[in-house]
Structure 1
Amino acid sequence: MTNVASRKLAFFEGMKVTEIKKNIPHPLLISLSTGGLSVECPWRLMSGGKIVLGQTDFLHQEQKEFNRGILDKALRDKTIRCVEWLDDCYLLRIVFSGNYVMDLFHDSGSQEGWELFGNGDFSFISLPGGEPEMIEKDEQ
């Protein structure tokens, strides 16, 4: 990723998680103080080098509320410390306060994977096939 894109992703640093919801059609929506993250692809939440929760756990019917509670407890009111795009493996990594790291990895050739957006500013989106695109408001 270019230095310009890296600087733009720094926009999200310091934002606080305000709400976590499971929406339709988006399996996961994380609201931020001035933006959000919509996730339609596999993800995992890690702490201390271990997976705390992943998309499969989160969608598991029999423990859905329990797992949603784990995610909410882990991320609510946490602050984004760093957002990284790992170009060699098409992975979006978000580092939160409290020693939590969320990895999002696209797994579809025909569907979008995730969108990280700032309210009225810009959007960083994973297009079908995994290629990322930065969309700025003045381009729309």
Structure 2
Amino acid sequence: MYKKISNIDFTYFIGQKVTEVNTEKNLPLGVAFETAGLIIECPWRLQASNEVLIGYSDCIQKPDGYSHKNVEKILLGRRIINIIHFEGISDLVVEFEGSIYLELFHDSNYFEGWQLRGDNGFYLFTLPGGTYSD
């Protein structure tokens, strides 16, 4: 299946640093940036050098070994280098310095998947079924 990259302008987010990662159990993964935020309620993974560092399944299936605290250790203080959004079933890739990639995969026909907000009024989120709205 061919995925088309959307033409949404993410310039506002480039260079912003991760200031906080939600580490509360039983809450969605949340990442705060200097003037923006990302809430993730769908499967995700952190990847570097073609290797998964940690993913959604790790946190669900082995919570005694993996948690959002692992994500915090990897991302805290890193700056966003690029954001890629795919149209159709709305997947999102956030590239951080150090060649770290946070990949989000919308996987529900019933629930929303993720929300990206900027203090500048930017708001992009996925709808049930994988489409997106801004």
TM-score w.r.t. structure 2 length?
0.86
Count residues in correspondence: 129
Summarize the alignment of residues 54-133 of structure 1 with structure 2, pairs less than 5 Å apart: 54-59=55-60, 60-64=62-66, 67-87=67-87, 90-133=90-133
Q: Which runs of at least 4 in structure 1 moved beyond 3 Å after TM superposition?
A: 22-26
Would you say the 8 A contact 1:26–1:38 is kept in 2?
no
Q: Which has the higher contact order (CA 8 A, sep 6+)?
A: 2
TM-superposition CA deviations, 1:30-77 (whole Å, max 9, x none): 01100100000000000011100001112332224xx43321121000
TM-superposition CA deviations, 1:101-125 (whole Å, max 9, x none): 0110101111100001102512110
Gaps of 5+ in 2: none
Question: Deviation at 1:88?
Answer: 5.3
Percent identity over paired residues? 32
Task: Give the RMSD, CA atoms, in angstroms.
Answer: 1.9
- Name the aligned partner's letter for residue 121 of structure 2: D
Comparing 111-120 and 31-40, the one that deviates more: 111-120
TM-score w.r.t. structure 1 length?
0.83
Distance 2:69 2:6 in 1: 37
Would you say the 8 A contact 1:16–1:79 is kept in 2?
yes
Counterparts in 2 of 1:113 and 1:25: CA distance versus 1, 3 Å: farther
Would you say the 8 A contact 1:82–1:96 is kept in 2?
yes
